[in-house]
Amino acid sequence: MTRAQKTALVVLGVVTLASLAAGWLSTSSYSEQFRDAISAPPSSRFPLGTDELGRDRFARLLYGTRISLLLAPAAALLSTLIAALLGGSAGYLGGRWERMVTSGIDLFLSLPWLFLLLAVRALLPLNTSPFTSVLITFLLLGCLGWATPARIIRAGTRTLVHADYLVQARASGVAPARLFWQHLLPNLRPILLAQFWVSVPVFILSEANLGLLGLGVSEPLPSWGAMLRELENYTAVLQNPWMLTPAILLVVVVSLLQLLLRTEDPIPC
Amino acid sequence: MLRTLLALALAAAPAVTVARAAGELRFTLRSDPKTFNPLLVEEEPSETIRYLTGGVLIRLNRYTQELEGELASKWKVSENGRRIDFELRRNLQFSDGTPFTCEDVAFTVRQLMDPALHSPTGDAFRSAPGEVETKCTGPASAMARFPGPVAALAAQFDQVAVLSAHSAHKEAAVLGPFVVADYKPGSYVLLRRNPNYWKRDANGRQLPYLDSIRLEIQQNRELELLRFRRGELDIVNRLDPEMYDRLSKDLPHSVVDAGPSLDMELVFFNQVSSAPLPDYKRRWFRSTEFRRAISEAIHRDDLVRIVYRGHARPAVGPVSAANHFWLNAALKPPVYEPSGTLARLQRDGFHRAGDSLVDRDGHKVEFSMISNAGNKLHERMLALIQQDLAKLGIQLNVVTLDFPSLIERISRSFNYESVLMALTNVGLDPNDQMNIWLSSAANHQWNPNQKAPETPWEAEIDKLMQAQTASQDANKRKGYFDKVQQIVSEQAPMIFLVNPDALSAVSANLKNVTPALLHPQIFWNAERLSVGTGLVSQK
């Protein structure tokens, strides 16, 4: 592990610990409205000021980090696993299965998923707690986000299957399972990791956009996505630059995660 | 985010010289007009064009809220609101030169009531089955007799633009101040002054003062605001409070707060007998004390101050303070008082158990409130209401849905508990609210389509609304409708929260602006508006 990676690990650890210790670090609840201090600038009472309903931005950022930092990677992991299973098996086995999976990917990418999401929200019970609602949102994102990574993983697998060392291993009589676990999977790791880390910020932003459809994190629960929606008001952002904190934190966390998981292994192509 | 980027990109773009003709007014339509036929209008862009181009027999003055003769110099309503006689102005011409005669009035009324045309404007006149009788009663007079009494008959003609019976141009021949000159779908509608418009100002100069009006089709509010700042637009209608405050910081003399509009924000509970609700929840929602307690627990002043940034008024009932004549001035908005609210709930068998409120059977008081997704004002209102109710131990689950799902739940499946929504009122007369207050009506939202009134107070409202619609005496009608407002205030079937102000922005370039409370607030006197003369080049 390089010095930069160690630094990244420490910073990520601090961010994660801070989010888990939100109850101790912030003096206010994420939902409490201080109606006498709406849109207040940063102060000792409110280190990042308050939002338009008088809620402590610092408290909301910490609790929002907890939700986004745990659930977005979980959804990314789910989508990458599905993609790896389908794309990897299609590339490895080839033939009819590959054609079926490829057609499935094309079909999946062409479907209007927005309507499915709307239908799902309409079917959910109305008295769903905010936390259940956010879990369902990220579960849906995980289940729907596999198609693009699957296509890339299939192509990567297909290239690997025809690589000289795998042809040689196959000719030497290595069993298919061993071939897969010991020779193919380790070489697919860079692609899988890349797909995983690309998905994390995408899911965080998707959650913010889903809020417009009534999915996503519901009031009063905070999330990075919900806080990023405030940036639509660019005049307010120019006047209150501390509103950019969630965006900066998102960029920092994603960059550090990529740095931490950088590998010397070349990505096969 | 995309909107922000677009706005930033536009702001950073090099200055482009935009030349426009002298005497041209510019503002936006949110979408393309669906029709140019004035009798088929049912959405705002088409209504704007009808207002600017259509000549009507009687006009509701948006400023004084009084009826004024336009194409009709006099009128008389008789036969208990079934018949109206018009005395018409003489020697007027349509925009294409066709003379205006009594036959045009008769033709328009027949078209309006033609079942084959399905005119939405005509709906207000179809109070009973049967055919309309209309004819010329003299060289410059006409009459119309409707199959049943029509409430506020004269006022309904404010929406009826007269068509030509003889012009080859059909509905393109108009009697209003402007005429449609060009239309590029998705881009703009260009209106030019009607050379044959009949009105003149006090000095005898023919109106309108403007040469043209360019209605840009623009959905994006941020871009609309940006273009207004750059001087490319003269009016921004229906500003939201956030935009209003932003603009007022940079261009304080351009913003107009005309006061409370006719619109209202309200909450209601599901009281439908067949709704898929547990019995104990239906009991809560049907309890007057419960509904009034919820109404009193909502801090309306905070909704006004925080959500509307002061640009709204706490609502009293179904009539806005903007409606001077019909408002029951004796009513006051509910007073926010959590301790009194709790006492009211206790009288109804509710009590506190720890942090929660429970009913007499021990059920924790928890319910959902739905609203339309993407509406920031509603989302903020819901968050405030959630905290207000939490102070009483009530758990409110906020759910935002796409609009079709919301309508499906409140109008068809009745699978909801409570809803926060906006009610847009266009008319001043109580008859415009008949479809809300009659228990048999489909828009009697909390419990629609009742075969017979399910509660004594709904029966009383039915009786009063029918009495007011049958009467032609305005004072008697007001007495009946005052009583309706009082019953609504006592029973709280709908909890009225706020009346948002009518907010607009007007360029300093535009003259003779007299903002009114009623729509269209800024250009209601379009024929008297004028802009700076000479070729205007702006960067």
| ipTM of predicted complex | 0.78
Tell me what pLDDT residue B4 has: 39
Per-residue pLDDT averaged across A225-249, rounded?
84
Residue B495's Cβ-count burial label (10 Å; 0-12, 13-18, 19+) is buried
Residue type, B237: N
Which range has the worst mean pLDDT, A130-139, B238-247, B474-483?
Answer: A130-139
List the one residue out of A140, A133, A247 whose CA is nearest residue A201: A247
User: Best interface-test mutation with B: which of A29, A30, A53 has the largest number of B CBs within 10 A?
Assistant: A53
Residue type, B533: T
DSSP secondary-structure letter at A179? I
Q: What phi and psi, each to the nearest 5 degrees, are found at residue B472?
A: -105, 0
* pTM of the predicted model as reported, rounded to 2 decimal places: 0.80
Domains contained in chain A, number: 1
Do B421 and B401 form a contact (C-beta atoms < 8 A)? no
Reduced to 3 states (helix: H, G, I; strand: E, B; else coil), residue A29 is coil
Q: Is A269 inside a domain boundary?
A: no
Q: Give me the domain span that covers residue A239.
A: 3-261
Contact A128 B397 (CB under 8 A): yes
Which residues 6+ apart lie within 8 Å of B528 measured at CB?
Answer: B201, B207, B208, B209, B512
Angle between the N-to-C axes of helices A185-210 and A130-144, in degrees from 0 to 180, rounded to the nearest 10? 130
pLDDT at residue A220 greater than cutoff 60:
yes
pLDDT at residue B5 greater than cutoff 60:
no
Q: Is A184 inside a domain boundary?
A: yes
Q: Is A251 an interface residue toward B (CB < 8 Å)?
A: no
When pLDDT is cut at 50, 70 and 90, the band that residue B19 belongs to is low
Task: Using an 8 Å CB-CB cutoff, list chain A residues near B374.
Answer: 212-213
Residue type, B51: Y
Tell me what pLDDT residue A237 has: 86
pLDDT at residue A264 greater than cutoff 60:
no
Contact B397 A126 (CB under 8 A): yes
Contact B416 A128 (CB under 8 A): no
Q: Is A267 inside a domain boundary?
A: no
Q: Is A120 inside a domain boundary?
A: yes
Out of B4, B383, B408, the one facing A53 most closely (by C-beta) is B383
Contact A122 B405 (CB under 8 A): yes
Dihedral over alpha carbons A79, A85, A87, A92 (to 10 degrees): 160
Q: Is A53 inside a domain boundary?
A: yes
Q: Which tokens hold the place of B362?
A: 């021990």
Q: Is A192 inside a domain boundary?
A: yes
Polymer length in residues for chain B:
539
Q: Is A268 inside a domain boundary?
A: no
The enclosing domain of A184 has a CATH number of 1.10.3720.10
Q: Half-sphere exposure (CA, 13 Å, Cβ side) for B375?
A: 20
Task: Using an 8 Å CB-CB cutoff, list chain A residues near B384.
Answer: 33, 53
Beta strands (DSSP E) in A27-128 are: none
| CA gap A174, A168 in Å, rounded | 9
Q: Is A266 inside a domain boundary?
A: no
How far B256 CA lies from chain A's nearest CA (Å)?
20
What mean pLDDT is reported for chain B? 89
Task: Using an 8 Å CB-CB cutoff, list chain A residues near B305.
Answer: 35
> CA A236: distance to chain centroid?
27
Tell me what pLDDT residue A214 has: 59
Tell me what pLDDT residue B313 has: 95
When pLDDT is cut at 50, 70 and 90, the band that residue B538 belongs to is very low
Q: Is B226 an interface residue toward A (CB < 8 Å)?
A: no
| Residue A92, H or E segment | helix A57-93
